[in-house]
Chain A
Amino acid sequence: MTVRDALNSALDEELKRDEKVFLMGEEVAQYDGAYKVSKGLLNKYGDKRVIDTPITEMGFAGLAVGAAMAGLKPIVEFMTFNFSMQAIDQVINSAAKTYYMSAGKVPVNIVFRGPNGAAAGVAAQHSQCFGAWYAHCPGLKVVSPYSSEDAKGLLKAAIRDPNPVICLENEILYGVPFEMSDEALSDDFVLPIGKAKIEREGDHISLITHSRYVGVCLDAAEELAGKGIECEVVNLRSLRPLDEETIIKSVQKTGHVVTVDGGWPQYGVGAEISALVAESSAFNYLDAPILRVTGADVPMPYAKSLEALALPQPFNVIKAVKRSLNVS
């Protein structure tokens, strides 16, 4: 099952399960979604529950938050998360903070979802990871699925969660097929938010990563395995809350850490994990400094060769692993 279909079935099942759930966004209904994630849902649930909005991100994000404050469970699709910047005040100041500001009187049950991070050939304004932006903010939960199973389980969990949840999907992964377990095919399959997954076990080094870069790490790990280096690949699945326990356990086991994410390096996901490990009991288990593999510290260029150079690739991971382990 592709990630796209997994997301579609998550939406379908949750729309079916709860009348209060509705999907809203640009082109989600008649057009079937700009990336076809919501394909067929308008026909199934009608225009009361699957709603095309005008191109008006701040407006519809705010409107959806208001609907959530009044007790509904909106799912807002940003055509891409790049456009969520138009709406970020409503996401943070209205959705994330209201429960605290009201001392618990006004919960906000809402999901903001859509493709995040760099796609291909779409240049600077459309190629950016918002993981660090949203995961910075208390009151929000942030999930970042990699596989189809992740996508379905995390999106369903996000919709059922009574808090504002950001679901950062990845456009490049939409068309990628993954095996689905029987369990994952069930209507009741929900993954816990805040729990990471060990995608590959290994004793020599921990690769801590999320989203598309789980795949990059798995490729690197495969290549390194041929050289006798066993990488443990930690798929974070959630950026907030972070699964500190799984991270720390893995670091204690391997003593070496490379973080891998597609965001910019400064104040990013890798930076947070580095600080977390440095402050934790796992620090004493480290045999080498933590290294970060991240997107390059540049706005995304359009040209293909430059674009490739701006995003982490397996060779970047392999280089960092070798440096950490001091092997050539």
Chain B
Amino acid sequence: MLSVCFKSIRPVNRSWLNFSYQLVNNYATASEASFETNPCKLHKLDQGPSTNVTVSRDDALKYYREMQMIRRMETVAGNLYKSKIIRGFCHLYSGQEAICVGMEAAIKKEDAVITAYRAHGWSYIRGVSILGVLAELTGRVSGCALGKGGSMHMYNDNFFGGNGIVGAQVPLGAGIAFAKKYTNADEICITLYGDGAANQGQLFEAYNMAKLWNLPCIFVCENNGYAMGTSLDRSSASTTYYTRGDYIPGVQVDGMDVLAVRECTKFARDFVLKNGPILIEASTYRYSGHSMSDPGTSYRTREEVQEVRERRDPISKFKERIQTSNLATPEEIKKIDQEVRKLVDEAAEQAKTDPELPLEELYNKIYYQPPSNYKVRGCDPSILAPST
């Protein structure tokens, strides 16, 4: 952007904002800045991700915008749910945005991602539009799965969902990584699960095969502290999830710091392409309940939630960072906030008013390329519908 006229390094010492920054220009906006992140805890690794991270102004604004977009989208989704426009399941990602935004920033579009049922943020970051997510939630034709999947079943190129069965996506993710290796693609798969799924047996089956065959798979435990209403110390004999791959090296990263997550994922991506699987535990927090039927207050205190919002919120923290380091002005931030609000609100409006699929679509897409005369039975013997 601007040529370097002035550089200074001013360490800032705050208990929860541990970073230094470089001003490229003392008066105008900086083109990049460096920060110190909290060091990662390591398992079976001599060296971890760098704690000195640099971010360009463009990227910083991009990450901020993406995190805000997800936060706003989830707020709107929660409201649509409360007004009964979204049905069934709806698991919000608010609080965890830094993970998907930071990881996406470190991988290629051709890399794959598969996640669990808390899939809205990941769907968006993998290229599904806000409308594609919200309309999927409202079950409308403009949803990314045309309203056939709902909250937990959203897909895009190299994004394999959304899976409603806790832990089932983990062997699938190992299999996607297997396919990457099989086809000699220089690509990886990020396979996510929560601290709840971390106790499913099939995870350990997937770890074992991933290590046996050195698959380029990054297993990511998004540890938000609660498996539904069960806190991790009540669910897990070992709560150091980054070590639970045993023979698989692991990293614990601050999942509330988008730059730390990005750096850690870059490290992990390089690592798995050379060495086989790695496990990342990203420590995070969810502000909402497990799902919309859970107010999220019976197993934790309101104070706890409030404290995280005030002290660890990934967006506020990042906003302060990029403002203090002069990567963005308050006006620019405000402008992004306004744009985000407008975009999400418009998408929400369309998600409310778009039609649902035509009824005959009930019978389609059961089989890929079904025989031309294939008929599907409806609920009574008089209904035999064609299927394409």
Chain B contact-residue range equals 35 or more
Contacts of A69 in B (CB 8 A): 160, 172, 175-176
Q: Is the CB of B171 within 8 A of A90?
A: yes
CA distance A54 to B145 in the complex (A): 35
> Of B164, B175, B206, B369, which is in contact with the most chain A CB atoms at under 10 Å from its CB?
B175
Min CB–CB distance B362 → chain A (angstroms): 10
Contact of A94 among B168, B179, B376 (CB under 8 A): B168
Q: Is the CB of A66 within 8 A of B161?
A: no
Min CB–CB distance A71 → chain B (angstroms): 6
Q: Is the CB of A100 within 8 A of B366?
A: yes
A68 CB–B CB distance under 8 Å: yes
CA distance A141 to B175 in the complex (A): 22
Chain A contact-residue range equals 35 or more
Min CB–CB distance B168 → chain A (angstroms): 6
Residues in A22-68 with C-beta less than 8 Å from chain B: 22, 48, 53-54, 56, 58-68
Contacts of B201 in A (CB 8 A): 58
Q: Is the CB of B149 within 8 A of A66?
A: no
A270 CB–B CB distance under 8 Å: no
User: Given A62-B168, A106-B160: A56 and B366 within 8 A (CB)?
Assistant: no
Q: Is the CB of B168 within 8 A of A90?
A: yes
Q: Is the CB of B366 within 8 A of A99?
A: yes
Contacts of B164 in A (CB 8 A): 93
CA distance A67 to B181 in the complex (A): 10
Contacts of B168 in A (CB 8 A): 62, 89-90, 93-94
B155 CB–A CB distance under 8 Å: yes
A241 CB–B CB distance under 8 Å: yes
Min CB–CB distance A62 → chain B (angstroms): 3
User: Given A65-B172, A67-B175, A67-B179: A59 and B202 within 8 A (CB)?
Assistant: yes
A70-104 interface bits toward B, Cβ cutoff 8 Å, 1 = contact, 0 = none: 11100000000000000001100110001111111
Min CB–CB distance A60 → chain B (angstroms): 7
A163 CB–B CB distance under 8 Å: yes
Write the chain A residue with the least CB distance to B153. A101
Chain B: residues with CB nearer than 8 A to chain A?
A: 112, 114, 145-149, 153, 155-156, 160-161, 163-165, 168, 170-180, 182-183, 189, 201-202, 205-206, 208-209, 212, 364-369, 371, 374, 376, 381
